[in-house]
C-alpha cells in the first residue's frame, strides 16, 4: 500500500503498532464496539456474521460427529462451583455474582456461568443411570462471563459467546477418543475455514483447564509472533463425575462413575482471524468466514453509471446463484474511497466494472492479498463478463489456500528450535520457540517473569527427545520439546 | 387411545388435568428439565431441536426482510433502566442484579438484561448521526432474565431464550411499517410453521410493553381455551430515542429523534406448540418443527428382524435424501412400547415395517393425529415400498394443514361474541370472548379479579362497531370489540 492510501484509512499501520492497529480496526471495520458496562462488548453485524459463519461450520461438524445441542441455565448456585476443588480455585477470581432477584436479596447467591461443567454435571447425574444411557454427547451455544480487568475486544472480554461441548462416557478410552476427536475438529475448522495453521498439542499441567486431567489446545500465531489459544478440548477424567455423583450401572450391574470431556471455541476466534491475517490496509478475511466474499464496484457517472450498475447487479445475481456472498457497492462515492473501504473490511475479491470494461466485455478483479505492481498496487486481472460466475468461486478457494500458505510460511519463519537461554529469549520476542523444559511450575513462572513467554503446548508433531531445560538446565520433562511464546 | 395405553404412558390425560399433563409431559418427552437455580430451565436436546427449527424459520425471514444479526451485552448498568420512566416501572420488579464481580463489590450494580432497549438505545445513539445511517435494522438471538415467582417450564421461566429485533427509522410511518411487517412475520411463522392459527391485534394500553406507544400481539388458543401471547411487535415512538438521545441530521440538516421498534418471540412458543396441539397420548408436533418427522419401526426377531431393519435403514436414507428428518427405532423393545414412545413424543408419521409387510412390498403408515378405527386405534395406510420417499413428504404437508385446520376449528368452537356479563363469564371460562369494553383500566382490573380473564387484543379482524361495556355498561372504546380470555 502507498503511504497516501494508509493515511486515508486512518488506521495506524500494523507494522508500526499492532495494538493500536487492532483497536482502531475493530471499530473502523464495524466489527464490534465497547458495551456500556466495563469489559463487555457489542458484536456489530459485520463481526457477528463472521461468528454466524464459524458457528455454521462448527455446528455441522458437531452434528456429524453425533452431538446434539441443548441449553443449560445461565445462573449456577454458588455452592456448585465449590464442589470441584481445582475448578473453583481456577474460576473464583473471575466470577460475577447475582445477589438480588425480584427485588429481594437471595438466600444463596447465583454465579453467572463462567463455564457449565458444574450445572451440567448436576443434570447428567439426574439423567444417567445405566450404561444404556451412555454416551451422552451434548453441545451448547451460549454466553459466559469471566471478569476481566484488562478487557480487549474479542480477545478478552467479561462476557463472550462460545460453544461448550460436554460428554459423558462409560470408559476412559471412549472419553479420550472424544476429547481427541473434537481437538481434531477445532484444528480442521481453524485450517480449512479460518485459514490459520495451528500448532496443536497438550497443555503442560500449569496451563490445564481447572479440573481437567488433560487439556489439548490449538495455538495460532498472530502477526506479531504471539500465540492465541483458539480452542481447547479437555479430558476431565472422573473429577466432575465424583463431584456431582454422575454414576451408572455397568453391564455387570456394578456402579461406576462416568468419564467426562468438555471442549470449547469462542468469539476469541474472531480476534484470531483479525490478528493472523490482517495487514497495514486493514482486515484480511479468509473467504469461508467473510460476510462479503466478493464486492462489485460499478464505476461511472450518469448514463454510463446506470449501465455499469445494472450489469453489476446482474453479475451479483449470477454469483449469488453460484453460492457466493456478494455485495454491489453502488454508493455515490469515488472508486478510490470505495476500494479503500472494502480493503479495510478485508473483502477477498473486488470486481471493478467501469464503462470501458463494460465495452470490452470484461471485469477487473483485484485480490485483497496477492500480486502487486511496482507501485504496490494490486495487479488486476481481466475476466470475461460471461465467465465471472464460473471462474470466481474457484478463485475464492485458491485465495483460501494462499492465505493458509502465507500464514504457514509466516509461522515457520517465526519459529525456531533453541537450546540456550539467549536464543530462547530472542526467539520468544518474535515468535515460537521449541525448547526443552524441566516441567517445574516455578521454572515456568520464572521464564514468564523474565520474558512474558509461557508454555503453549507439548506439540503433537515433533520428535521425541530429551535434553536440558532451556532455563534451569535440569533434565527435560514430557519426552519432547515444549512450544513457548508470548500469548494473547 | 385405549385406557390401557394411557396408563402405560404414565402421563395424566390432558382431558383430566391440563396442568399435570403439561408438567409430566415436558419431563417424560425429554423436552426440558428444571435447572438447579429456582425458576431456571434446562432445554434438553429434543426440546432444543424444536427451538433450532423455529430459529431457522424466523432467522431466514428476518434476513429476507432486511435485518442483520448482532450481539449486545448481557449486563446493563442499573442507571440505564431508569432513563425511560415507564420501562423501569414495568421491569424493576423482575430484575436480577449483579453486585459483585471479580471478587469485589461493584461501584454500580449491573442488571442482567430483561430486554435490551436501553443498552441498544445507547449504542444506536453512538452509531446514528445522519439520515444516511437509517434505517438500522438489527436482530439479536440471546437469553434474558425476568425473575419469576411461579415458574413454569417454557411458559414462564426466570431465564428464557428469544430473539429481540430493534430498529431505528427516520419517520413514524417507516417505523410503523416495520412494526407491522414483523407482526406479520410472527403470524405467518405461527400459522405456516407451528400450525397455530393466531388471533392478531393491538394490545389495550394496560397490556402494552413498558415504554411502547403501540404493541401488536399474536395470541394462540391452547387446548384448555386459554390464550398464550406468542410474539409481540412494538412501535416505541421516540420514547427510547429521547431517553438515550438517538438523533440524526435529516436531509434539511435539522436534528431529529429517530423512531424505534422492537419485537420478540421466545422459547415460550415451544410451550405454545405443546399446549395448542397435544392430546391424552402426549405431544403432537407440527411437522415443520418436529425434530423427527417420520419414525420407522422395523418389527420382527432374528433373521426377519435383520431383514426389516436393513430395509428400514434403506427407506430412511431415501427419505433423508428427500429432505425428511427421519429416525429408525430399532431398539430391542416391543412394537407397542416403541409406538407409545413416539406417540408421547409427538412424531407426525410412524412407518411400521414387519416381515409380512416386507413380503407384501409395502409399509404401514400411521398418522399421530388422524382417522381412528372403532377401537380408537389409528387407521394404518399401506404405502408401496418404492413409493415411500415420493409419497410421505406430501403427507407431512397435508398433516400440517390438518393440524392447522383442527386448531382453527377448536379455536372457533371456543370463541363467541357476547353482550352480557353472564355470557361473558361463561365464555371466558372455556375460551375467547369478543366483547365491548369501556377501555377503563380499573374496569379491566375488576373483570380480571372476577374471572381471571384479561383483554388479549383489539383484533385486526372483526367489524368496526360500538356498544356498551360488557362489565360496566359505559360506552365502548377502540371502535371494536375486544378479545378477552384467561391467559398463560
Mean pLDDT of B159-165: 98
Supply the DSSP symbol for B72: -
Q: Which three cell numbers stand for residue B258?
A: 429517530
Name residues whose C-beta falls within 8 Å of residue A466's C-beta, 6 or more positions apart in sequence.
Answer: A436, A475, A476, A479
Q: Which three cell numbers stand for residue A8?
A: 486515508
Q: Which three cell numbers stand for residue A154?
A: 474479542
Say what the ipTM of the complex is. 0.96
Tell whether the model's pLDDT for residue B460 goes beyond 80: yes
Which residues does chain B have within 8 Å of residue A156's beta carbon, measured at their own beta carbons? Answer: none
Tell whether the model's pLDDT for residue A231 goes beyond 80: yes
CB contact under 8 A, A73 and B37: yes
- Convert the pLDDT of each residue in A98-108 to its tens digit: 999 999 999 99
CA atoms within 13 A on the CB side of B228: 26
Alpha-carbon separation of residue A262 from A165, A232, A251, B42 (angstroms): 5, 8, 25, 18
CB contact under 8 A, B33 and A70: no
Tell whether the model's pLDDT for residue B137 goes beyond 90: yes
Supply the DSSP symbol for B130: B
Q: Where are the beta strands (DSSP E) in A45-103?
A: 68-69, 75-77, 96-101
**Per-residue confidence (pLDDT) for residue A3, from 0 to 100:** 40
Helical (H) or strand (E) element with A179: helix A172-192
For B102, which of A40, A51, A94 is closest by C-beta distance?
A: A94
Range with the poorest average pLDDT among A185-199, A373-387, B194-208, B227-241: A373-387
Residue B363, exposed/middle/buried by CB under 10 A (0-12, 13-18, 19+)?
buried
- Convert the pLDDT of each residue in B101-114 to its tens digit: 999 999 999 999 99
Indicate the average pLDDT of chain A: 96
**Per-residue confidence (pLDDT) for residue B10, from 0 to 100:** 73
**Per-residue confidence (pLDDT) for residue B282, from 0 to 100:** 96
Tell whether the model's pLDDT for residue B302 goes beyond 60: yes
Tell whether the model's pLDDT for residue B9 goes beyond 60: no
Alpha-carbon separation of residue B439 from A210, B142, B436, B480 (angstroms): 59, 35, 9, 11
Which residues does chain B have within 8 Å of residue A159's beta carbon, measured at their own beta carbons? Answer: 73-75
Name residues whose C-beta falls within 8 Å of residue A246's C-beta, 6 or more positions apart in sequence.
Answer: A121, A124, A125, A128, A168, A240, A257, A258, A260
Mutation to test the B interface, candidates A68, A70, A103, most B Cβ within 10 Å:
A70
Among residues A471, A478, A456, the alpha carbon closest in space to that of A420 is found at A471
Does residue B258 contact residue B238 with C-beta atoms inside 8 Å?
yes
Q: Which residue has the cell 480455585?
A: A89
- Convert the pLDDT of each residue in A289-320 to its tens digit: 999 999 999 999 999 999 999 999 999 999 99
CB contact under 8 A, A98 and B98: yes
- Convert the pLDDT of each residue in A68-81 to its tens digit: 999 999 999 999 99
Q: Which residue has the cell 382453527?
A: B408
Tell whether the model's pLDDT for residue B6 goes beyond 50: no
Q: Which three cell numbers stand for residue A219?
A: 495455538
**Per-residue confidence (pLDDT) for residue A211, from 0 to 100:** 94
Which residues does chain A have within 8 Å of residue B103's beta carbon, measured at their own beta carbons? Answer: 92-93, 95, 147
Among residues B342, B349, B354, B338, the alpha carbon closest in space to that of B298 is found at B354
Which residues does chain B have within 8 Å of residue A88's beta carbon, measured at their own beta carbons? Answer: none
**Per-residue confidence (pLDDT) for residue A9, from 0 to 100:** 55
* Structural domains in chain A, sorted by start: 3-277 (3.30.930.10), 292-397 (3.40.50.800), 415-485 (3.30.110.30)
For A96, which of B36, B44, B98 is closest by C-beta distance?
A: B98
**Per-residue confidence (pLDDT) for residue A10, from 0 to 100:** 73
Among residues B292, B301, B277, the alpha carbon closest in space to that of B228 is found at B277
Name residues whose C-beta falls within 8 Å of residue B73's C-beta, 6 or more positions apart in sequence.
Answer: A35, A36, A37, A40, A41, A42, A159, B113, B119
Which A positions 107-126 lie with beta carbon below 8 A of chain B?
Answer: 109-110, 112, 119, 122-123, 126
Percent of chain A with pLDDT over 90: 94
**Per-residue confidence (pLDDT) for residue A4, from 0 to 100:** 38
Residue A151, exposed/middle/buried by CB under 10 A (0-12, 13-18, 19+)?
middle
Among residues B362, B367, B335, B336, the alpha carbon closest in space to that of B350 is found at B367
DSSP codes, A272-316: HHHHHH-BTTB----GGG-S-SEEEEE--SHHHHHHHHHHHHHHH
Mean pLDDT of B463-487: 97
In whole angstroms, what separates CA A110 from the centre of its chain? 29
CB contact under 8 A, B102 and A93: yes
- Convert the pLDDT of each residue in B242-281 to its tens digit: 999 999 999 999 999 999 999 999 999 999 999 999 999 9
Measure the CA–CA gap between A474 and A472, rounded to whole angstroms.
6
Mutation to test the B interface, candidates A32, A41, A42, most B Cβ within 10 Å:
A42
The residue ranking higher by pLDDT, B287 or B6, is: B287
- Convert the pLDDT of each residue in A435-457 to its tens digit: 999 999 999 999 999 999 999 99
Burial A332-358 (b: 16+ CB within 10 A, else e): eeeeeebbbbbbbbbbbbbbbbbbebb
Three-state SS annotation for B279-327: ECCECCCCHHHCCCCEEEEECCCHHHHHHHHHHHHHHHHHHHHCCCCEE
pTM: 0.96
Indicate the average pLDDT of chain B: 96
The number of residues in chain B equals 488
Among residues B162, B235, B163, the alpha carbon closest in space to that of B202 is found at B235
Residue A426 touches chain B, beta carbons under 8 Å:
no
Tell whether the model's pLDDT for residue A272 goes beyond 50: yes
Mean pLDDT of B345-364: 97
Tell whether the model's pLDDT for residue B4 goes beyond 70: no
Which residues does chain B have within 8 Å of residue A44's beta carbon, measured at their own beta carbons? Answer: 70
Among residues A438, A448, A444, the alpha carbon closest in space to that of A473 is found at A438
**Per-residue confidence (pLDDT) for residue B87, from 0 to 100:** 86
- Convert the pLDDT of each residue in A125-154 to its tens digit: 999 999 999 999 999 999 999 999 999 999
For B143, which of A74, A109, A110 is closest by C-beta distance?
A: A74
For B44, which of A43, A70, A77 is closest by C-beta distance?
A: A70
Measure the CA–CA gap between A419 and A412, rounded to whole angstroms.
18
How many other β-carbons are positioned within 10 Å of the β-carbon of residue B361?
Answer: 10
Does residue A190 contact residue A231 with C-beta atoms inside 8 Å?
yes
DSSP codes, B265-282: EETHHHHHHHHHH-BTTB
Chain B nearest-CA residue for A122: B36
For A75, which of B52, B93, B159 is closest by C-beta distance?
A: B159
CB contact under 8 A, A52 and B74: no
**Per-residue confidence (pLDDT) for residue A2, from 0 to 100:** 39
Tell whether the model's pLDDT for residue A85 goes beyond 90: no
Amino acid at each position: 500500500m502507498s503511504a497516501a492510501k494508509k493515511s486515508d484509512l486512518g488506521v495506524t499501520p500494523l507494522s508500526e503498532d499492532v495494538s493500536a492497529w487492532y483497536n482502531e480496526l475493530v471499530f473502523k471495520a464495524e466489527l464490534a464496539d465497547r458495551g456500556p458496562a466495563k469489559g463487555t462488548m457489542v458484536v456489530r453485524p459485520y463481526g457477528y456474521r463472521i461468528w454466524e459463519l464459524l458457528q455454521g461450520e462448527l455446528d455441522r461438524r458437531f452434528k456429524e460427529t453425533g452431538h446434539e445441542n441443548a441449553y443449560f441455565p445461565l445462573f449456577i448456585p454458588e455452592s456448585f462451583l465449590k464442589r470441584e476443588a481445582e475448578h473453583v480455585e481456577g474460576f473464583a477470581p473471575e466470577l460475577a455474582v447475582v445477589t438480588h432477584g425480584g427485588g429481594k436479596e437471595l438466600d444463596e447467591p447465583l454465579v453467572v456461568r463462567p463455564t457449565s461443567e458444574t450445572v451440567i454435571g448436576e443434570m447428567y447425574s439426574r439423567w444417567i443411570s445405566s450404561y444404556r444411557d451412555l454416551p451422552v454427547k451434548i453441545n451448547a451455544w451460549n454466553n459466559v462471563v469471566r471478569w476481566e480487568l484488562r478487557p480487549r475486544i474479542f480477545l478478552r472480554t467479561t462476557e463472550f459467546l462460545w460453544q461448550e461441548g460436554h460428554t459423558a462416557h462409560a470408559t476412559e478410552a471412549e472419553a479420550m477418543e472424544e476429547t481427541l476427536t473434537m481437538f481434531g475438529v477445532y484444528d480442521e475448522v481453524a485450517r480449512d475455514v479460518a485459514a490459520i495453521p495451528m500448532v496443536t498439542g497438550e497443555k503442560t499441567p500449569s496451563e490445564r483447564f481447572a479440573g481437567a486431567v488433560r487439556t489439548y489446545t490449538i495455538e495460532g500465531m498472530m502477526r506479531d509472533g504471539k500465540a492465541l489459544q483458539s480452542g481447547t478440548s479437555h479430558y476431565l477424567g472422573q473429577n466432575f463425575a465424583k463431584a456431582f455423583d454422575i454414576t451408572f450401572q455397568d453391564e455387570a450391574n456394578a456402579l461406576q462413575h462416568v468419564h467426562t470431556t468438555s471442549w470449547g471455541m469462542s468469539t476469541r476466534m474472531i480476534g484470531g482471524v483479525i490478528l493472523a491475517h490482517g495487514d497495514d490496509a486493514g482486515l484480511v478475511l479468509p473467504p469461508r468466514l467473510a460476510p462479503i466474499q466478493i464486492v462489485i464496484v460499478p464505476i461511472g457517472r450518469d448514463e454510463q453509471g446506470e449501465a455499469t450498475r445494472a450489469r453489476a447487479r446482474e453479475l451479483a445475481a449470477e454469483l449469488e446463484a453460484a453460492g457466493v456472498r456478494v455485495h454491489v457497492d453502488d454508493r455515490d462515492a469515488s472508486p478510490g474511497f470505495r476500494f479503500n473501504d472494502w480493503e479495510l473490511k478485508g473483502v477477498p475479491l473486488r470486481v471493478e466494472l467501469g464503462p470501458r470494461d463494460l465495452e470490452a466485455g470484461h471485469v477487473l478483479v483485484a485480490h485483497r492479498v496477492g500480486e502487486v505492481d511496482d507501485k504496490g498496487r494490486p495487479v488486476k486481472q481481466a475476466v470475461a463478463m460471461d465467465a465471472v460466475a464460473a471462474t470466481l468461486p474457484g478463485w475464492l478457494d485458491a485465495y483460501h489456500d494462499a492465505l493458509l500458505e502465507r500464514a504457514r510460511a509466516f509461522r515457520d519463519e517465526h519459529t525456531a528450535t533453541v537450546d540456550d537461554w539467549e536464543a530462547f529469549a530472542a526467539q520468544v520476542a518474535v515468535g515460537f520457540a521449541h525448547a526443552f523444559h524441566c516441567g517445574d511450575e516455578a521454572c515456568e513462572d520464572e521464564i514468564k517473569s523474565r520474558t512474558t513467554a509461557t508454555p503453549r503446548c507439548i506439540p503433537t508433531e515433533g520428535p521425541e527427545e530429551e535434553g536440558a531445560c532451556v532455563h534451569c538446565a535440569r533434565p527435560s520433562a514430557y519426552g519432547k520439546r515444549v512450544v513457548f511464546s508470548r500469548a494473547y
